[in-house]
Amino acid sequence: MKKSIVLLLSILVFAGCAGQKRTAQNEIKIEYKAYSRGFYQLITIENQMVFVTKSREDKPVAFRLSNTNWKSLQLMVQELDEALLHNWKAPTEKRLFDGAAIASLKITKQGKTFESQSFDHGYPPVEIEKVVNKMLSFVK
**Can you give the pLDDT at residue 64?**
96
Does the pTM surpass 0.75? The reply is yes
Percent of the chain past pLDDT 90, that is, above it, reads 60
Residue 8 has phi, psi (to 5 degrees) of: -65, -45
Q: What is the mean pLDDT of residues 59-69?
A: 95
Residue range 19-47, pLDDT digits in tens: 544 444 468 999 999 999 989 999 999 99
Question: What are the distances in angstroms from CA 77 to CA 4, 27, 46, 48, 125?
Answer: 45, 12, 12, 14, 14
Could you tell me which residue, 93 or 50, shows the higher pLDDT?
50
Domain ranges of the chain: 28-139
pLDDT score of 92 more than 90? no
What is the enclosing helix (H) or strand (E) of 132? helix 129-139
Give the residue among 129, 130, 107, 109 at the shortest CA–CA distance from 119. 129
SS3 category, 138: helix
Given a cut of 50, whether residue 94 has pLDDT beyond it is: yes
What is the average per-residue pLDDT within 51-80?
94
**Which residue, among 34, 29, 81, has the nearest Cα to 56 in the 3D structure?**
34
Give the span between the Cα atoms of 79 and 63, in whole angstroms: 25
CA 48 to chain centre: 10
How far is the CA of 130 from the CAs of 45, 60, 72, 122, in angstroms? 15, 24, 10, 11
